[in-house]
């Protein structure tokens, strides 16, 4: 009887070893085999008006927009677009990436001038959109609302 119990225990132990030795696929094995990693998305830390006291702007004036951003992957360009009132969005500028690292903010910094159109009525809304585009085609957008005073 003792021999049967010992044989049974050894058999269970051997069976357990056999099961644990089988290679098991990771739950995401199919996913790992069927995706292509193209890189990382850029980060926009802030997009503000300089000086930062106001977002009210005068018609015909030039506003300086301060963009703070970074990316682990190489950056290709920065696009600035504007939507004035109910008009369709228009591209204002496309700037090629130039390294401008700021020790203070630990980001790249870029000052973008925006000439506010003349003849706008007081209270007209202007939506500024900036887009940082990496060379891997991944991008990040941020918006800023301005108001004509």
Q: Is the domain covering 43-148 a CATH 3.30.479.30 domain?
A: no
pLDDT tens per residue, range 82-141: 999 999 999 999 999 999 998 888 999 999 999 999 999 999 999 999 999 999 999 999
pLDDT of residue 34: 82
User: What residues contact 11, with CB distance under 8 A and at least 6 apart?
Assistant: none
Residue 1 pLDDT more than 80?
no
The encoded tokens of residue 8 equal 């049974």
Per-residue pLDDT averaged across 71-76, rounded? 95
- What is the reported pTM? 0.74
pLDDT of residue 65: 95
User: Per-residue DSSP letters for 79-140?
Assistant: EEEEEETTSPPEEEEEEE----EETTTTEEEEEEEEEPPTTPPTT-EEEEEEEEEETTS-EE
Residue 13 pLDDT more than 90?
no
Residue 17 pLDDT more than 90?
no
For residues 14 and 44, which has the higher predicted lDDT (pLDDT)?
44
pLDDT tens per residue, range 21-48: 556 666 777 777 888 888 899 999 999 9
Domain extents for the chain? 2-33, 43-148
pLDDT of residue 24: 63
pLDDT of residue 22: 59
Residue 26 neighbours by CB distance under 10 Å: 8
């Amino acid at each position: 009887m003792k021999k049967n119990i010992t044989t049974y225990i050894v058999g269970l132990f051997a069976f357990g070893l056999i099961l644990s030795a089988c290679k098991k696929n990771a739950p995401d094995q199919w996913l790992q085999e069927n995706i292509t990693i193209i890189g990382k998305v850029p980060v926009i830390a802030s997009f503000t008006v300089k000086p930062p006291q106001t977002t009210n702007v005068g018609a015909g004036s030039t506003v300086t927009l301060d963009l703070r951003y970074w990316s682990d992957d190489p950056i290709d360009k920065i696009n600035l677009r504007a939507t004035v009132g109910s008009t369709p969005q228009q591209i204002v500028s496309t700037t090629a990436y130039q390294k401008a690292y700021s020790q203070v903010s630990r980001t790249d910094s870029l000052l973008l001038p925006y000439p506010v159109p003349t003849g706008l009525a007081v209270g007209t809304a202007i939506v500024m959109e900036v887009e940082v585009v990496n060379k891997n085609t991944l991008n990040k957008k941020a918006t800023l609302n301005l108001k004509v005073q």
